[in-house]
A = this chain, B = another copy of it.
Amino acid sequence: MDQKTIVSLEEIYKPIHSFLPAVEERILEILATPNELSSEVVRYFFKSKGKFLRPALVLFGASFGSGIPHFVVTTAAALEIFHSATLIHDDIIDSAYLRRNLPTINAKWNSQVAVLVGDYLHDKAIEAIFETGNDQVIAAFLKTAGIVCDGEILELKEKNNFNLKEDAYFTIIERKTATLLATCLESGAILGGLNVDQVLALKRFGLYFGMAFQIMDDCLDFAGKENEFGKTLGADLQAGVLTLPLIRLITLLDEAGKAEIFSKVKSGLNHSELGDLVLLLREHGALDYSIERAREFNERSALELSIFPDSPSKKSLYALLQYVIERNR
């Protein structure tokens, strides 16, 4: 895409930006506890801000209606808390030690603390969603929570499977990532009072966008800059998680080439070997191929917006599609 048209996340968030401080406040309110350890871990985790993508999508979903009703902020907060719970547990699963440029909870405390604080956030997110009193939103959320977990179990099962097929990869990322982003837009849209067609269009937008988002995240794991990305590069592979660039590369190599990659990956890649692998991915066009798949999902995503009249929110969602392809973090 054209460099000059790239806009920042801050710019994209403009239509809903004024609600984000309230979401942040609500998150801390929901998680407030006299328990000192929980409280300390919560403060630490939310000190380093993520992209706040999930709250933003909830707010965008609602913004297509006639205003942002009361419970949207709570829902946005709940979905960010739920997402945080999954990140905290993911970092145990992957033995990750860096998240948003800070040590993970399992690294700074230990995996026991991470298990329980993840559970705590999970519980609080559900309690907050229940407060909305909207059965449709609650049901969508609970179903999604199950799907996200299922996606993570699938990913875990397929760890170190060097024969993982693209289809299986797409199933995993749809479940572990895209479904939640779809639910964010869907929940916002429901609470914003949109009609069924509009709710479903935004939900599908979120699903396709989520696919593109995760594919690009997986590309960044190889080709990002660590200090911008905020995570350790090559962390997926180190944890045995095969993602689209490598899955693609493997289909392009002969048996000897495959065998060499397998053995290197199995024994753990050092910094220079990871660099070599990234070169190989580039040479074989595996990163470009992956980015192309992300672009295709984005195109499907963009089509879903056609039923909406022009608005700052619509413009932002288009810009978000571009952002996700160009982002560095």
Contacts and interface: CB of A to CB of B under 8 A. Distances in A.
A142 interface: yes
B36 A157 contact: yes
Given A130-B139, A154-B35, A149 B119 contact: yes
Contacts of A142: 123, 126-127, 130
A173 to B, nearest CB: 15
A75 B27 CA distance: 29
A152 B154 CA distance: 28
A122 B122 contact: yes
A149 B33 CA distance: 12
6 contacts: A37-B154, A123-B145, A123-B146, A126-B145, A127-B145, A130-B139
Interface size class of A (residues with CB under 8 A): 35 or more
A9 interface: no
A93 interface: yes
Given A35-B154, A89-B116, 12 more contacts: A35-B157, A37-B154, A37-B157, A38-B150, A93-B115, A113-B153, A115-B115, A117-B153, A119-B119, A123-B146, A127-B142, A130-B142
Interface string A100-120: 000000000001110111111
Interface string A61-86: 00000000000000000000000000
A115 B130 contact: no
Contacts of A317: none
A146 B130 contact: no
A190 interface: no
A156 B112 CA distance: 8
Contact of A92 (B112, B124, B149, B150): B112
A33 B89 CA distance: 21
A138 interface: yes
Contacts of A157: 35-37
A143 interface: yes
Nearest to A138: B130
A130 to B, nearest CB: 6
B116 A149 contact: yes
Q: Which of A89, A115, A126, A145 has the most chain B CB within a 10 Å cutoff?
A: A115
A9 to B, nearest CB: 29
